Structure 1
Amino acid sequence: MWYLGPIPLRGYALSIICGIIIALWVGRKRYAARGGNPDVVLDAAIVAVPAGIIGGRLYHVITDNHKYFCSDCNPIDALKITNGGLGIWGAVIVGTLAVWGYLRFKKVPFAPFADALAPGVVLAQGIGRLGNWFNQELYGAETTVWWGLEIYYRVDEAGNYAPMTGRSTGEVIATVHPTFLYELVWNVAVFVFLIWMDRKFKLGHGRVFALYVLSYTLGRFFIENLRTDEATMIGGLRVNAIVAVVTLIVAAIVFFSLKKGRETPAQVAGGKLGSAVDDAASEVMEGAARADAKVKASEEDS
């Protein structure tokens, strides 16, 4: 964290903001290429971003409820989002539901919109993981590999340990597996994979989004089990790993159940515009059919 006068600039927040901007840029280009109005992406973002933050916080508070609802805890701390604690699962679920509701109200089909945004979303998640580097958090066990992350001891002006706001003393506490970096690399790989699959197989009807969920959770399961930070456990397993497996299975079923092919630009646009384009296309086809019938009739007469 740095200070611009009295204003704190947090590395984690800056990482998330950069991810959101890039996701919007990618999403607008992809949605426009599919036949949608790119401005809808910006409108949806106004709904998705705050909903995602609320969802991420809710997931964290629910899965780590022992930190906020115990005999020595202050439940008000659950509202102090600046103290840290966001769960990507809750952010994606609540953000997606909010966008679905908004698009339904605007009479814009959700599936092609989700397909257009999915690659940018997973790329944004990867960029957001840089925030874990700034915070020196979400890492794995100690290691001797050359890419291991050195965790430095940081103190404030009073000499107290302050991992996020303090200055390094130069003392290395440990060298660990940078699991957030592994997830960043995986997310970028998923981004490239989704773009390739979409172009090669002309995916549509929500299949790109389902493939995003499937691919992300596959990597997240293995990466989650490399982490050694404090986590809520169920039956000896990290709750996020369990969520990853369940979500992966559901996403795989959905992916193979959805209709193959891709929507037409008119279907993507939806609403009045889509209906108008469909009507115009129908008139053209009917006109062509009538003209063809006249030509055949003339040939028969001659």
Structure 2
Amino acid sequence: MSLFSSINPVAFSLFGLDVNWYGIIIVSGMLLAIILASKEAVRVGLKEDDVIDFMFWGLPLSIVGARLYYVAFEWKRYADNPIEIFAIRNGGLAIYGGLLAGAIAMYIFTKKRGISFWQFLDIAVPGVIIAQAIGRWGNFMNQEAYGGEVSRSFLENLHLPSFIIDNMQVNGVYHHPTFLYESLWNVLGFILLLILRRQKNFLKIGELTFIYVMWYSLGRFFIEGMRTDSLWLFDTIRVSQLLSVILFIIAAILLIYRRKVMKPAFYKRTVK
């Protein structure tokens, strides 16, 4: 018997309600992001409460944005039964939708608090990308977000542990572990952001955010092209690939403009 048969997406049941590994893993990533952002906020002279207060309403709005984004591009699936829009437990959250909604919520929050929007984003993005890396393992537990067909020998040549290889077998066919590709890409991005952030007088406020957007968009563009569950625009364009290109170009332009034309303050790690 393969190890795959022992992997259950349900972690445990509580009062008759199944608690899935997906939810546990996603929440764990979010908690880590909050902890990292809170510590960094204190280092740059902001309050830990600023991060906590934002998460109380920014996080729910991000989830709503992730759901609306997914539903918008899968409307045919919900048109005849719109009540299913609220059935989040059945799946259907898009990371890009959550990120965009979260950014809008953060802009409103920082304006009300009198905090620099770009500095707040810089504080958040390392935690966001490592949370994304962790969250992809929720996709693994749900046996979703995988790529096209491959052979078992291909996966074995990647030196993957057997439990990953076994779980990439869906309906008798092995698939690219695109969840793993993106998770590893995000871990590398997390390390890169931490290294860059530690360089004294190197990054100006906002630039860490632009680097995050460029890094994630670059990886997502290529990985999305391998997936079998993409959202499509006009049945010809993968939505996430198109958005990745747009975001990468915008972030690159803003990075160049901010570094060459504007003279904002350097990002510092010293407490005021």
TM-score by length of 2: 0.84
Counterpart in the other structure of 1:277: none
Distance, in Å, in 2 between the alignment partners of 1:14 and 1:264 is 34
Distance, in Å, in 1 between the alignment partners of 2:59 and 2:226 is 29
CA RMSD of aligned residues (A): 2.2
Counterpart in the other structure of 1:82: 89
Q: Any residues of structure 2 matched to 1:141-152 within 5 Å, and which? A: 141-144=148-151, 145=154, 146=156, 147=160, 149-151=165-167
Equivalent residues of 2:230, 2:239 under 8 A apart: no
Counterpart in the other structure of 1:167: none
1:262 to 2:272 alignment: no
Name the SS of the counterpart of 2:266 in structure 1: coil
- For residues 82-122 of structure 1, give each alpha carbon's deviation from its aligned partner in whole angstroms, at most 9, with x where no partner exists: 21101111101111111221121111221111111111101
1:104 to 2:108 alignment: no
Question: Which 4+ residue blocks in structure 1 deviate beyond 4 angstroms?
Answer: 263-266
> In structure 1, what residue type is equivalent to 2:103?
T
Deviation at 1:150, TM superposition (A): 2.8
Equivalent residues of 1:151, 1:173 under 8 A apart: no
> In structure 2, what residue type is equivalent to 1:7?
L
The alpha-carbon distance between structure 1 residues 233 and 33, as it changes in their structure 2 partners (threshold 3 A), is: same
1:6 to 2:16 alignment: yes
The alpha-carbon distance between structure 1 residues 35 and 230, as it changes in their structure 2 partners (threshold 3 A), is: closer
Counterpart in the other structure of 1:115: 122
Name the SS of the counterpart of 1:93 in structure 2: helix
Counterpart in the other structure of 1:225: 225
- For residues 186-216 of structure 1, give each alpha carbon's deviation from its aligned partner in whole angstroms, at most 9, with x where no partner exists: 0111011111112225323211111111110
Deviation at 1:17, TM superposition (A): 0.3
Equivalent residues of 2:168, 2:177 under 8 A apart: no
Deviation at 1:7, TM superposition (A): 2.9
Count of equivalent residues: 248
Distance, in Å, in 2 between the alignment partners of 1:234 and 1:208 is 34
Distance, in Å, in 2 between the alignment partners of 1:105 and 1:260 is 21
TM-score by length of 1: 0.76
Deviates more, 1:39-48 or 1:142-151: 142-151
* Aligned equivalent of 1:49, options 49, 54, 59: 59
Counterpart in the other structure of 1:216: 216
Deviation at 1:237, TM superposition (A): 2.8
1:91 to 2:95 alignment: no
Name the SS of the counterpart of 1:129 in structure 2: helix
Equivalent residues of 1:123, 1:188 under 8 A apart: yes
Deviation at 1:41, TM superposition (A): 0.8
Distance, in Å, in 2 between the alignment partners of 1:103 and 1:176 is 43
Structure 2: gaps spanning 5 or more residues = 1-9
The alpha-carbon distance between structure 1 residues 62 and 176, as it changes in their structure 2 partners (threshold 3 A), is: same
Distance, in Å, in 2 between the alignment partners of 1:236 and 1:149 is 31
Name the SS of the counterpart of 1:138 in structure 2: coil
Name the SS of the counterpart of 2:147 in structure 1: coil
